[in-house]
Each structure stands twice: as structure tokens, then as C-alpha cells.
Structure 1
Amino acid sequence: MPLSQWHGISSHRICTISMFYDPFFNTVILDNKALMALIDAAPLWLPLILLPPLLLLFMKKMKVVRQSEQLLPPSPPRLPILGNLHQLSSLPHQSMCHLSKKYGPVMLLRLGQIPTLVISSAEAAREVLKVHDLAFCSRPLLSGTGRLTYNYLDIAFSPYTDHWRNMRKIVTLELLSLKKVQSFRFIREEEVRFLVNSLSESSALAAPVDLTQKVYALVANITFRVAFGFDYRGTNFDRDRFHEVVHETEAVAGSISADEYIPYLGWIVDWLTGHRAKDGKSFPRHAIDNHLQPGRKKCHDDMIDVLLAIEKEQTEVGASQFTRDNIKAILMNLFLAGVDTSSLTVNWAMAELVRNPRVMKKVQDEVRKWVGKKGRVTEDDVHQLEYLRMVIKETLRLHPPGPLLIPRETMSHCKVSGYNIYPKTLVHVNVWAIGRDPRYWKDPEEFFPERFLDSSYDFNGQSFEYLPFGSGRRICPGIHMGSITVEIILSNLLYCFDWILPNGLQKEDINMEEKAGVSLAPCKKTPAHLMWTCGCGHAQEKPKRYCSITATVPGAF
């Protein structure tokens, strides 16, 4: 190409530019002599003009080549430093669900500096949680959970190691086995009886009560008695402070730390949240010290007794990797995973039932017909209440307590849906999105418990369209404890009381929005009314007493 005058650029020198086509890179290459001639012929300001667009073109080309070579999952555009953090709201499971509709059920986000895989389909969830479970079964080392678990000495947040396998064996066999859960039956039934009596007294006095607070206190006291071995009623134990600390530690566990996602800013988060984690960790320590006091009276072996015995046994044989901090970390797991999830599931179920009078009547008829005039529902009765269990399953489909499960981290390279997933990738399985996907569920937004009639869906994590407790090696070990707690509370609330909306309030007026937190929690308080009924399940004719109930209606991640 002769260069004497090229697009108005004059030159004192005429030369020939030699070019050839490179089919491998799909581009045109200049030979060195020709390139030097072109540079010599151009004015000094020309490179300054051409450099920025050429750099952008080069970077775009390299990105396309790199992605085609690595076969990474599709991802939305991201910002420097922040990555895709700006695209996530305070309800990340909803934001991720919205993004996955555009970028697919296997999507790669960049949360700050952390590559994050988001799974939003049953097929991809099966690959992650079953086919490649070993590659995906570790946990990321996040500072918030590290502080709450004594540097990952627990089972919920610790990485996949020999230590974790030993801890899980202890927890599943010694603390949360079906036999052990059944041994605490008397505690659950006593606490439910306290709740029913309390609500009945409030109803008789026409005094308003907060059902959400009542249910939360009930589950917390069940957990407290199972773990610590005593009832804090009538003691000088600071119950309100205990509940406050549980909420604070949940906030720390559920928070996004800038230290992980945006380097050099983590000290701010440590300063803001470190004192809360420290306060929360004092309760397990005090409870253990109380158990070590000589002459302590006890009516049954609680979880601390069991764990202290294991520590002593392993220490005596000289092979103990089970320390006092392990006990504290397990107790923190128990409160973080057990209190909020069960109480919120009951609240969500009550909210859905009030909004769906047909379902409310059907489940109450079942409970009252089976129990008759016994005055209360026992755990023996619960096993016969098929429709009640369908109501709970439907509640967990729409409102899973952990909508993204606890995040996982890849330990080795593998492929999901044909895409390469590399080590140290954070993984979220959006069970909230899967549970509302019309590909798997007819009318997914409708509360319709009958969809579980004659179905194979259960809580064991083998049906990947339905994963409220997760699946694989990291499935929630507290399934038995959580499910029976929800069943016994909900069945007694439905047996003993009628639930209606106040005059003029329609079911559409109930706020079913969600709020941020470590579990899927109700957003705003919505009033409902409680009508006191007798133990046989039939409303008293004289007098009819109503009690204003603050029924907190639905929540978030």
C-alpha cells in the first residue's frame, strides 16, 4: 500500500507497507519494516489518539479468547473493584434469581475479588450437590463465621477436612440422631403446653400478644433446655440479653465482609462487628462452666453433658482433637441454625394459612378429627397428620429458611453443565429460585399443599427440585430436630385456636415481603386475630373472646 498521502496525512517519504493475513488469530499482520515506515510517516499525536481504542479492542479480544478457552459460565458486566456487588440487593437470592433469568441457571458473578458460582436449576444443583459433591463440599474461610466458630471448629462453617468429618460424626450420632431427638420429646411438649396456656390467658383477658415473639421464645427455650439442661424461667438468667445476642450473632454470620470481597477494607467490618461476636461467645463458656461445678443437679443429660463426656474420653485415650472450643463452636451452630429457622417456619406457615382459608380449614379439620377431645397434640399424633406435613413442605418450598444454603467453596477443578469451575470459587445454590421455578412446579407462587400428595419429595435432599435442607455431605444434620419442632408447635396452634383476619382486612392486604437476615424472615407486622377455643377443637359459644395477634408476616435471606 503506497503511503504518500493517507486520509489527509502528508508525508515527505513514500514507502510500501507489506501486510499478510494470519488465519489463526483472524487478523492482519504488518511486517517489521513496513510497521517502522508507518510509524515514521505518522505525526506524533496519532498514537495518542489511536492507543485508547486499540487497547479496548485488544482487551475485548483477549477476554473473548480467554473465555472461549476456559469455557467459563456466562456472567453479567461488572465494575472495577466491586465486580457484581452493585447488582445485589439486600435480598441477594431474589437478585440472583432475576440475573439468572437473563444469564442462565449456571452463572458466574464476581463479588468484589471473589468468583462466585450461582446455581438456579435442579439439574445444575444435582451436578454440584451429588455428581461433584466432593469437589464442592468445602466452606469458604469468612472472617465473620470464623470468629463465631472459634476459628472454624464447628461443623456448619468449617472447611472439609478430617477434623470436620470427625465433628460431623459426633454431632450426627451423639447429638442429633433420631433416637437422641426423641429423648428430648418431653421438653418440646412441655414448652408447647406453656405456649398454649399463655395464649389462652391472653385470649381470656382480651390482651394483645405478639405471636412471632411467643413462638421465637418457645423455640429458644426448647433449644436452651436441650443444650444447656435447664429452664431459664424463674432464674436470674438474662433472657432478653440472650435473645439479643442470638440476633446479633446471626447478623454477624449473615453479613458480607468487605475483608473477603474488597481487600484492605476488612478492618472496618472487624471494628463494626467484632464486639458483637465476642459477646455472643460468652454464653457457651458460662454454660460449660456451670456444668463443671461440683454437685450440680440435673434431670437429664443435655448436649453439654454429652460433649464433655466425649472430650474426657478422647483425652484419656490420648488421641483427643476434640477440645473445649469445639464444644463452644457446636453450641453456637445449634443456636444459629436451630432457633431462627424453626420459629420463622412456623410464622411463615401461619401467614400462608391465614391468607388461604381453604387450606386453614382443611388442616384444622384433620388435626381436630384425629386428636379429638384429648386437649393437646402429642408427637405420636403428629406422625398421623399427613396434610399438616404437606402444609409444612409447601411452606418450606416457598420460604426456605436458607434460600441460598450456606455457601460452599470448590476444592478442585470440575465441570458443571459443560462450564469449567476452578478451585476457590464460592458457590451459592439458590433453592429459593428452584422452589419457585415453573419448570418444576405448576403455579409456583400459589400456596397449594396438595401438590405434595403421593409425591416423593422429602427433606433428605434426593429430589433436587426441593432442597430446603440442602443435600450431599453438607446436608443439614438437624433435620429431625427442626421438623418435629415445627410440627408439634404448628399442630397445637391449629388445634387449640381459630385464626382469622380482622374486620375489613383481606388476604391480599397481608404483607408477604421479605427482609434481610441469616434466615428467610418476615418483613412487616400484619395484624391477625386469635379466637380462643376449647381443647376439643370447638369454639366456645359463651363467651367468644378475641385477641389481637401481631402476626409477623414473611421474611428474607
Structure 2
Amino acid sequence: MAPLTDTQYYLFCFFVWIFSTLLLRSLFRRPNNQEPAIGDLHLPPSPPALPLIGHLHLLGLTLYKSLHKLSLQYGPLLYLRLGPSRNLLVVSSASVATEVFKANDLAFSDRPTIAFADELPKDVGGVGLFSAPYGEYWRFMRKLSMTQLLGARQIELSRSIRQEEIARLLHSVLESADRREVVDLGAELMKLTNNSTCRLAMSTRVSGENNEAEQIRELVKNSLQLASKVCFGDVLGPFKKLGFWLYGKQAADMDKRYDEILERIWKEHEEISGKKENEDLMDILLKVYKDDKAEFKMTRTHIKAFLRDLFVGGTNTSADVMQWTMSELINHPHMFRKLREEIESVVGTARLVEESDVSNLPYLQAVVKETLRLYPSVAVTTRECRENCKIKGYDIPQKTMVAINLYSVMQDPEVWDDPSEFRPERFLVSSKVQNENETRGQSLVDFVPFGAGRRGCPGSALAYSTMNSTIGALVQCFDWKIGSGGDEDKVDMEVDSGFGLSKAHSLVCLPVVHFNPFASSAP
């Protein structure tokens, strides 16, 4: 055996020191007299754990799959230990999710902090709507989002933006079809959602002078990659600064880049304040910011954090779902034909499908909802327990982190027949699709692609509007060929590793024109 080099020797000593320190701390840690000892609590079932790391070794690169596998083996409610200082409650069925989202919604209305939030500059983390703790600011922003920023009126006012971006997408695909070139539909859908979100928020898009939307799209991609590494907060106990050393600079750099873009656009909005016919979300937020009588006094940091949340939530997630929808439809030609027949029977063959048609297209809505069931925009959503409570008779201590595996909840065999099959018909009731805000059961939370309860996504209605109208247009206007175009050619449905449910390989296919909605307007 070759002797250790100096570097290897020092690394070996360093890890021995870490292991010894953690072991001693775990053995001699004083219990908190204000809380009952863990041994006195009736905790949920827990798999066998290893010293120090707890159950970290059971979590693989694809989180939702790891949690789903554990639930199949140990049950739908699990108690895991992540490292020396973090406890995690895993929820994997509709009946248990109901306990969290409905019966104990207030108790689970906090979000866990990121791994090194207290190491970042003041106000960098924890002020966005997604990450803010439950309290006065969060309630104010939730109300503002539901009534003004992402409410029905704003969605209606922004309809023309989505129509224009869908038209841009169709023009791009038509040009590729004329040249008989394949299209990276995943990339095109990402451009559509990114442009739509940026125009809704700040009246800017990829073609802008400073190309802000393109910069934001790259930042969103990097933000999601970083979030997958720090989503579970502090699992390193006394060595939590290691997380900051590894990812802190990256997080601070991204925040700086976001800040530069948003400050530039902020100044542009202030210069033209009151001169615009249609207000975007930043205009609305600036009014609240300047209102001395507002329920909550917002800061510049609050506004920029909200917009960051909107970019992250409105760009990748909807694009991913639409890419999965088109993939499933291409792999199920009879469903593709059925959807096109429905669109043509309602819309005709002389104009493009529009958002106003969607309410009369139940199969279109069912296709999108079935995709969301199998490929939720966020596979695992997290909460944190604000107070001691009980779930299914088990004690859940305060500060316990909660991971609700939406992937497992929406494939619960107790609720769904053949849960792994793509069957849009399951959402059709008497030829009418259920309302988007309803669940299939009155007592169970079984369809929750955007979460539920107080922390449910406030932008779900906007996402539905974008996805339904875009999928309708792509099916109405084009046939899509994979490979040589034979019946045996299928879309690769491999899922990428990480926190979410993105496709491992972007959907690249050859478009064949079925209907050109712009032909009559061509010169």
C-alpha cells in the first residue's frame, strides 16, 4: 500500500476531527428543558439510521424518487433525521397530506430557511413570498397577490401578452417547418414562458435593449440548480458554515445580478410613471411602495424578492409541464387526434384557439391536468412546523421540517386507478372537466400540483391559462414527428436528476404544418 501524501494525511485528519467532534456533541448535548425529550414523544415510523448522518444516505440524486421509495417500504408518514440537527417529516399520501394542508394548515404555514440564510447579507433571503415566514408581511403579500398582482383582473388584462407570445412561438415553428428543420420545443417553450413572465412583471422581453429577459432566464436556471443543493436547510449541525463556504458566494453573486437588472428596470419605471396605458406588476408594486397608508410598508428589497420568486415560479415550471404534455400526446397519437378533433369542433378551422375557448374544451383541460398529476411543477414542496401538533396520532415537534411528496400524493393507489398511466379521461365527469380549483374528493387532498392551503401557489390560475392555450395552439397547428417519423418512434421520457421533474432530454422534433393561422394575413 502506497504511503499517504501530506495532502491526503491532512484531509484524513480533518475528517477524523469532524467525525469525533460531531460524535462528542451528539453524546453530550444538553436537552432543552422547555421541550419534551425525543424519547418521550410518539413519533412517526422511521427507517434504520446511521450515526451522525442519520438518514442522509437514503436520499439519492432524485429526491422525489428517494422519498417515494421510502414510503413504499415504510409507509406514507415517515420521520427522518438529516445530519446531527435536522428532522424531516415525509408525507406521501393524500390522506396524510390532508392532515397537513387542511386540518393543520396554520401549524405548517412556515417554510424552512436555506442552509446559510444568516450568513448572507441582510435581507437577501427570506423576504420573497415563497420563502417569507408566516406573519404580517407574508399575509399582506398573499392578499396583494390574490387581489391585484395575480388575480383574475390582472390575468385578463395580460391576456394579450400571452396571445402575442404564443403567436411568436408559432411563427418560429412555422419557419422551421417550411425549412423542414427540427425544433427544440423545450427551448422554445422556455422562451415563451420567460418572455410572458417578464412582460407581465416588467414590460421587458428578450428583444429588449439590455436583453433583461435572457439574463433572467439564465439566472432562473442557476437559481434552481442552487436551490436543489440547499433546499433542506442546515443539515451539517455545528459545521453549517461549510454550506456557506461551498455555495454562499454563488448565492450572493446571483442576488447581485438580479439586483442590478431589477434596479435598472425600477429606474426606467419611475421615469415613465403615470405615462403607461397598461400597468405591469412593477407599476402596481411601486404604487404600494409609495403608499403611506398601505397595510404594510414595503421596502425595495421586498419588491425585488417578490419579482425573483415570480421569475423562478413562472419560467421553468410551466415550460416543463408543457414539454411533458406534448411528449405524452406525441407518444399517444389517439389522444393527440382526440384533442385536435375537440379543438376543431369548438373553434373551427379558420382561426387560432384562444384562452376564451378553453372553458369549452374539457379534454384539453383534462390533458393538462393529467400531465400535472404525473409531472407536478414542483415534485416535493416543503413546510416547517410552527408549533407542536399531531398528525395521524403521532407527535410532531416544533421546527420539524416537512417534505410533502406531491409526486407520491398524486399517484396514491388508494385514490387513483392505475396511477402511473397517462389517462386524461380520469378528469372528465359527464363530459365536463372539473373546475381547476376543485379536488377530486371532498375530504382528501389528492390533486395538488401547485400545493394547497395557505402556502399554495398564488400563480396557479395564470399557469393554467398559459398552459391550456399554448398546448391547444401547438396541437391545432402542427403534427410532430420524432426520429424517422414512424409509428415506432417515441419521445424519450427520462426524468432529469435533481429536486424537480424536468425532462432529462429536451423535446426535439420535426413540425409538419396542419393549420397556418396566419395564412390569410400573409401578403
Same structural fold, with TM-score higher than 0.5 when normalized by the shorter chain: yes
Aligned partner of 1:74 among 35, 40, 45: 45
Does residue 465 of structure 2 align to residue 484 of structure 1?
Answer: yes
Counterparts of 1:452 and 1:294, CA distance in 2: 47
What is the CA–CA distance in structure 2 between the aligned matches of 1:336 and 1:464, rounded to whole Å? 25
| Counterpart Cα distance in 2 of 1:320 and 1:449 | 44
**In structure 1, how many angstroms separate the alpha carbons of the residues matched to 2:67 and 2:396?**
18
Range 512-521 or range 335-344, more displaced: 512-521
1:336 lines up with 2:325 in the alignment = no
**Structure 1 counterpart SS, 2:81:** strand
Amino acid at match of 2:306: I
Equivalent position of 1:29 in the other structure:
none
* Structure 2 counterpart of 1:262: 236
Residue 125 in 1 paired to residue 100 in 2? no
Per-residue CA deviation, residues 301-349 of structure 1 (Å, 9 max, x unaligned), is 0000000001111x3x487521111110110010011111111111010
Instruction: Give the direction of change, closer, same or farther, for the CA distance of 1:295–1:238 in structure 2 (3 Å limit).
Output: closer
Shift of the 318–359 alpha-carbon distance from structure 1 to 2, 3 Å rule, reads closer
Aligned pair in 2 of structure 1 residues 505, 124: CA closer, same or farther (>3 Å)?
Answer: same
For residue 446 of structure 2, the aligned residue among 454, 465, 477 is 465
Separation in 2, partners of 1:198, 1:241: 21
Helix, strand or coil at the partner of 1:446: coil
Matched residues in 2 for 1:364 and 1:172: separation?
33
Which residue number in structure 1 is paired with residue 417 of structure 2? 442
C-alpha distance after superposition, 1:402-430 (max 9, x if no partner): 1112x100011111111100000000111
- Of 65, 71, 81, the match for 1:100: 71
Match 1:142 to one of 111, 114, 122: 114
CA distance, structure 2, for counterparts of residue 294 and residue 68 of structure 1: 63
Where does residue 385 of structure 1 map in the other structure?
361
Deviation at 1:259, TM superposition (A): 6.5
Aligned residues: 473
Residue type of the partner of 1:409? E
TM-fit CA distance, 1:220: 0.6
**Is the CA contact (8 Å cut-off) linking 2:61 and 2:497 kept in structure 1?**
yes
Deviations 1:418-463 (A, max 9, x none): 1100000000111101212222111111111001111757445665
Matched to 1:244, the amino acid is E
- The answer for the alignment partner of 1:514 in structure 2 is 495
From 288, 291, 310, the counterpart of 2:266: 288
CA gap 1:75/1:504 in 2 versus in 1, 3 angstroms: same
2:396 alignment counterpart: 421
Deviations 1:28-57 (A, max 9, x none): xxxxxxxxxxxxxxxxxxxxxxxxxxxxxx
Q: Shift in Å at residue 100 of structure 1? A: 0.9
3-state DSSP class of the match of 2:315? helix
| Partner secondary structure for residue 326 of structure 2 | helix
**Equivalence for 2:407:** 432
1:79-114 alpha-carbon deviations (Å, 9 max, x no partner): 233221111111111100100111111101112221
Does the 8 Å contact 1:106/1:120 carry over to 2? yes
Contact map agreement 2:373 2:447 (CA 8 A) in 1: yes
- For residues 64-85 of structure 1, give each alpha carbon's deviation from its aligned partner in whole angstroms, at most 9, with x where no partner exists: xx87741101111222332211
CA distance in 2, matches of 1:414, 1:144: 27
User: Which letter maps to 2:495?
Assistant: E
Paired amino acid for 2:271 = Q
State whether residues 62 and 499 of structure 2, in contact with CA within 8 Å, keep that contact through their aligned partners in structure 1: no
Evaluate the alpha carbon distance shift between residue 508 and residue 415 of structure 1 in structure 2; reply closer, same or farther with a 3 A threshold: farther
**C-alpha contact (below 8 Å) 2:323/2:507 kept by paired residues:** no
Task: Go from structure 1 to structure 2 and tell me whether the alpha carbon gap of 1:201 and 1:145 turns closer, same or farther (over 3 Å shift).
Answer: farther
Measured on the aligned residues, the alpha-carbon RMSD in Å equals 2.7
Which residue, out of 164, 170, 181, partners 2:155?
Answer: 181
Q: Is the 8 A contact 1:191 1:218 kept in 2?
A: yes
CA distance in 1, matches of 2:321, 2:254: 26
Cα distance, 1:245 vs. partner? Answer: 1.4
Bigger relative CO (Cα 8 Å, ≥ 6 apart): 2
For residue 212 of structure 1, report the CA deviation from its aligned partner.
0.8
- The residue aligned with 1:87 is 58
Residue pair 2:177, 2:510 contacting (<8 A) in 1 also: no
Over 3 Å counting, the alpha-carbon distance change for 1:188 and 1:319 in structure 2 is closer
Aligned 8 A contact 1:307 1:327 in 2: yes
Report the secondary structure of 2:378's partner residue. Answer: coil
Farther-moved stretch of structure 1 (301-310 vs 282-291): 282-291
**2:267 corresponds to which letter in structure 1?**
D
Answer whether contact 2:45 2:77 (CA < 8 A) is retained: yes
Query: Contact conserved, 2:185 with 2:509, CA < 8 A, in 1?
Result: no
Partners in 2 of 1:258 and 1:500 — Cα distance? 41
TM-score (norm 1): 0.79
Distance of aligned partners of 1:318 and 1:231 in 2 relative to their CA distance in 1, 3 Å threshold: closer
- In structure 2, distance between residues paired with 1:441 and 1:137: 27
Q: Deviations over 1:4-28 (max 9, x none)?
A: xxxxxxxxxxxxxxxxxxxxxxxxx
SS at match of 1:488: helix
Structure of higher CA gyration radius:
1
Alpha carbons of 1:518 and 1:189: their partners in 2 closer, same or farther (altered >3 Å)?
farther
Q: Shift in Å at residue 187 of structure 1?
A: 0.6
Structure 2 residue aligned with 1:494: 475
1:283 Cα shift? 2.2
- Counterpart selection for 1:452 from 420, 427, 432: 427
Q: Give, in angstroms, the shift of residue 498 of structure 1.
A: 1.1
Q: Secondary structure at the match of 1:524?
A: coil
Secondary structure of 2:458's counterpart equals coil
Secondary structure of 2:143 counterpart? helix
> Is the CA contact (8 Å cut-off) linking 1:497 and 1:537 kept in structure 2?
no
Alpha-carbon distance in 2 for matches of 1:182, 1:287: 24
CA distance in 2, matches of 1:295, 1:169: 24
Q: Aligned-pair distance for 1:503? A: 2.7
CA displacement at 1:202 relative to structure 2 = 1.2
TM (norm. structure 2) is 0.84
CA positional deviation for 1:279: 2.2
Q: Distance in 1 between matches of 2:388 and 2:284?
A: 39
1:345 aligned residue: 321
| Residue of structure 1 in register with 2:298 after alignment | 322
Distance in 1 between residues matched to 2:508 and 2:333, nearest whole Å: 16
Distance change in 2, residues 1:296/1:91 (3 Å)? same
Aligned pair partner of 1:215 in 183, 189, 199 = 189
Alignment gaps of 5+ in structure 1? 1-65, 539-557
CA distance in 1, matches of 2:487, 2:81: 43
Distance change in 2, residues 1:237/1:528 (3 Å): closer
User: Which residue type is aligned with residue 99 of structure 1?
Assistant: L
Distance 2:276 2:266 in 1: 14
Cα gap change, 1:374 to 1:381, in 2 (>3 Å): farther
Aligned equivalents of 2:271, 2:298: Cα separation in 1:
21
**What secondary structure, in the 3-state scheme, does the structure 1 residue paired with 2:107 have?**
helix
| Distance across 2 between alignment mates of 1:277 and 1:222 | 22
Cα displacement (A) at 1:163: 1.5
Answer whether contact 1:145 1:253 (CA < 8 A) is retained: no
Cα distance in 1 for partners of 2:219, 2:454 equals 30
SS across alignment from 1:261: coil
